Structure 1
Amino acid sequence: MNSTNLLNAAPVPPHAGAALDTAHVGDIRGALGTIKLGDAGHERGLFRRLKTLLAILGPGLIVMVGDNDAGAFSTYAQAGQNYGTTLLWTLALLIPVLYVNQEMVLRLGAVTGVGHARLILERFGKFWGAFSVIDLFLLNALTIVTEFIGIALGLDYLGIPRLPGVGIAAVLVMMAASTGDFRRFERFALILVLGSLLLLPLFVMVHPPMGQVVHDFSTVQMPKDGKLSDVMLLIIGIVGTTIAPWQLFFQQSYVIDKRITPRFIRYERLDLWLGIVLVVLGAVALISLVAHCFAGKPEFGQFTDALGVARGLAQYHGHGAGTLFALALIDASVIGAAAVSLSTAYAVGDVLSVNHSLHRKPREAKGFYLVYCGLIVLAAALVLLPGVPLGLLTNAVQTLAGVLLPSASVFLLLLCNDRQVLGPWVNGRWTNAFTSAVVAVLVILSTVLTAAVIFPDIGENQIVAILVGGGVLATLIGLATLAMRAYRAAVRPRSQHHGREFNPRQMEQWRMPPLHLLEPAQLTSSTRLWMGVLRLYLVLAVAMVAVRVLQLAFAQA
């Protein structure tokens, strides 16, 4: 069956499709409501629509607030303490990137019923499938360690011994996901989402100047003090912690596990926007209050870790401020640990085709829960070991996430243009153009990082030259790609154009067929070339991050 016939086939009923776990099919049992399978009354009246939205709420809120985790606290606090509010503009620029990336994965989840890692394996081969899972596993394992670092630092400030405190936190995170009740886990996660709002009263207590916050949020500028290569490293860290690769895998799999289908995509998009508002408010509040707390103080420009921030807040704004910060840090670390562990367990379950659902009890999905709980136990144990460079590890994870994000975005873009996979839900032209531009910017930033590692004394003019040159090159490549696509579209036989229009009802019913019915992905020679370039980029970028981390480690020794 070719792709044209595939699109012209009768719509697949919402209960069919390619779901790899039978637990992914059934009623939607969200934290705030239930939608019965086959219930078609969700559009009838404002009250019913509100009930539907409440039942759908969860995936977007959890993935976004989970992104403001321990690593984010460290990275944002470092930006505020070392450079004031001058880097707030990075958050404004990342808002559309957050939405476009996460909207693509929620669409993939709702339409395909198959997780991100499995789709990469099926459509691009064993190498990239294995790479995506191994890369995710290793990066997530390090990320979970940073979550327990955050828990440990918060406990240190509160005067609670690390050993019992970290142990209790680990048990709590494992128990929350191991009841076999999806709704119970989501309620636990949404309570933690509410806990993230602790940053707002803390912001009020510190009361940074709103005029300065608004100005720096809306004005692109670079800090006047500090080495430019260090600033660029921090910017890459902000990108990596705000748009982390685990988010892509988590939201797609969580949407599937919640049993969300295409007819609820509009509600899930609203859920995502609510999550983005919360994550951006939290990040802005964190950078701003830390910047104001240390402005003009001896500690300004001397960031150590989140514990140092909590103590500084207590010193200059009272013990209550430090306590709120510590509680918010622990809350963020717990939800981060749960979400990142789940993204890994979902991905492994997808690729190995074993049961992987929060609707299942541990005895019904042993491999899924073994990965989830194993990562948490390992991370908690590492944090309790003496001599581990916790602060350096936290910064390294955020930077590594930043340089690995382009590869994740490339496969996301390819999947969202695969008509075998998404049918009428494939990306539009503007989404493709925007995502391609984002990938180009991320690669350029990584190039700057590489240059700063190879040439430690690189000057501002050289870095600007790399940015401008990379931008010009990316623009030329983009124009060439558009011209090539226009030419292919012009010479393509009319029978190969996918011109059928789908009405809203048909789009709501369209699901990806089972994986074994799909034709192999049709990759052009240029796509294969760029995937080869991507491999080279990943090797060089990861190597440069490792070198940079070693440099920082020796500098601190």
Structure 2
Amino acid sequence: MNNKTPFEKPAVVSHGSWVKKLGPGLITGAADDDPSGIATYSQAGAQFGLNTLWTLFLTFPLMVGIQIISARIGRVSGHGLATNIRRHYPRPLLFGIVALLMFANTINIAADIAAMGAALKLLIGGSPHFYAVGFGIVSLLLQVFIPYKRYVRVLKWLTLVLLAYVGIVFAVHIPWGQVVEHTAWPQLSWKPAYITIVVAIFGTTISPYLFFWQASQEVEELEADPQAQSLIDAPNQAKANFTRINTDTLIGMGISNIVAFFIMLTTAVTLNLHGLTDIQTSEQAASALRPIAGEFAFWLFSAGIIGTGLLAVPVLAGSAAYAVAGTFHWRNSLSAKPLADKAFYSIIAASTLLGVLICFAPIDPIKALLWSAVVNGVIAVPIMFIMMLMASHPKIMGSFVIAPGLKVLGWSCTAAMAVVVIGMFWGLFAA
């Protein structure tokens, strides 16, 4: 996507306010708390109370490390992950990864759209399928017809819906002493059900589509600024951009984990304490909260499902489109007009509309999400492995190969996800 010549005069990057620096990392982190993720966190809190809160203190540094690496690959090279894999690694590996990513993202889109439709039905009544179609079409039209600069601002404002899950704690009683105790010294278990939910938390928190999205968004930001260049061509822009990426990603992943923490906490101190442990979907969690925590908590939880879905569906569809377009060397930019990048936008449309159609199919949504999580977990490990190789590759990163500290964090995240995948398969066969 980066067509700028290395002979252009390197531009000075404007520092501006810290709020303006937030973008790819903030949106990526917020999109991680999609309705499917909300269902996972709700299930963890309902089943095991306060004893899964510790997981989010472990996923936070791992998320920060791997997302910073994906962002740096995009900003330094001027290309997304799929393009870099195509240029430097075997094609069959890329084709397999992208095909699985498309499958997992489409199932996730279907689950998120269905959850949004069900949540709106809870709030105002009506047909959840009708609402699902509406949400899918609205999401698609926003991506296709709103210019990138304005669309990013829309996504930034949508991140505010995550405050709903922080606000719920003001509607319920929180035993903070027990929260601190169980977070610091949780009652761990080797039972398959507990291991499965821990694996699910890792799988929904560290997802491959987030890697592709944030790397590609860095390239979009690069293309949107006429003064900017890839850092391999303009090394004097590195310091300001690395500072921005670090700040943006820390805040984005921090918000993601804080919101997940409060969702788990809310369901633990309400549903779990009242014996409601069988929560399978985000809308079930919202319905169960109503008689226990009251109308305010119910409305906040339900509205949050809709808002996070509107934020996550474009990220899921967009990351799939970036991956496919990078694979086949198509033009790919949300800044371009639809007729200019027809193939790229057709992937966005196909994945979104297919997700809508799946909502009408006689498919068990819980099983669909389970297999989506399995696919995400399986492909996350090779993608992260390749990302770590790319981030240390002088032909891709030039003099900006990642430093030892970030390298340790990235490989730790890769190893943790490998353990998660092993645990996931153990849980499937043990169940």
The TM-score with structure 1 as length reference comes to: 0.70
Per the alignment, residue 323 of structure 1 pairs with 299
Per the alignment, residue 45 of structure 1 pairs with none
**How far 1:127 sits from its partner (Å)?**
1.4
Q: Which residue identity does 1:248 align to in structure 2?
A: F
Distance 1:117 1:309 in 2: 37
Per the alignment, residue 242 of structure 2 pairs with 265
Q: Percent identity?
A: 21
Q: Which residue identity does 2:204 align to in structure 1?
A: T
Moved more, 83-92 or 174-183: 174-183
Per the alignment, residue 419 of structure 2 pairs with 444
SS at structure 1 position matched to 2:79: coil
Q: Which residue identity does 2:31 align to in structure 1?
A: G
Per the alignment, residue 490 of structure 1 pairs with none
**How far 1:399 sits from its partner (Å)?**
4.1
CA 295–451 in structure 1, closer or farther in 2 if over 3 Å, else same = closer
Q: Give yes or no for contact 1:151–1:166 (8 Å, CA) kept in 2.
A: yes
Distance 1:110 1:195 in 2: 28
- Is 1:189 the equivalent of 2:155? yes
Q: What does 1:69-468 correspond to in 2, within 5 Å? A: 69-158=34-123, 159-179=125-145, 181-223=147-189, 228-259=191-222, 261-262=230-231, 263=237, 264-299=241-276, 301-385=277-361, 387-454=362-429, 456=430
Post-superposition Cα deviations, 1:37-84, rounded to whole Å, max 9, x if no partner, equal 965262xxxxxx333x44432100100000001111010000000000
Distance 1:231 1:124 in 2: 38
Q: Give yes or no for contact 1:176–1:188 (8 Å, CA) kept in 2.
A: no
SS at structure 2 position matched to 1:296: helix
**How far 1:126 sits from its partner (Å)?**
0.9
Q: What does 1:468-487 correspond to in 2, within 5 Å? A: none
The TM-score with structure 2 as length reference comes to: 0.90
Distance 1:448 1:57 in 2: 35
SS at structure 1 position matched to 2:269: helix
Output the aligned Cα RMSD: 2.1
CA 381–453 in structure 1, closer or farther in 2 if over 3 Å, else same = closer
Post-superposition Cα deviations, 1:217-252, rounded to whole Å, max 9, x if no partner, equal 3335415xxx71121111111111111011110000
Distance 2:41 2:418 in 1: 22
Determine which structure has more spread, i.e. the larger CA radius of gyration.
1
Moved over 4 A (4+): none
Alignment size in residue pairs? 413
Post-superposition Cα deviations, 1:57-114, rounded to whole Å, max 9, x if no partner, equal 2100100000001111010000000000101111101111011101101111111011
CA 237–112 in structure 1, closer or farther in 2 if over 3 Å, else same = same
Q: What are structure 1's unaligned runs of at least 5 residues?
A: 1-19, 26-36, 43-48, 457-547, 549-557
Moved more, 410-419 or 163-172: 163-172
Per the alignment, residue 234 of structure 2 pairs with none
Moved more, 322-331 or 126-135: 126-135
Per the alignment, residue 66 of structure 1 pairs with 31
Q: Give yes or no for contact 1:146–1:390 (8 Å, CA) kept in 2.
A: yes
CA 165–451 in structure 1, closer or farther in 2 if over 3 Å, else same = closer
Distance 1:406 1:41 in 2: 34
CA 207–55 in structure 1, closer or farther in 2 if over 3 Å, else same = same
Q: What are structure 2's unaligned runs of at least 5 residues?
A: 223-227, 232-236
Q: Which residue identity does 2:297 align to in structure 1?
A: A
Post-superposition Cα deviations, 1:285-309, rounded to whole Å, max 9, x if no partner, equal 000001111133232x222322221
Q: Which residue identity does 1:154 align to in structure 2?
A: A
CA 436–169 in structure 1, closer or farther in 2 if over 3 Å, else same = same
SS at structure 1 position matched to 2:145: coil
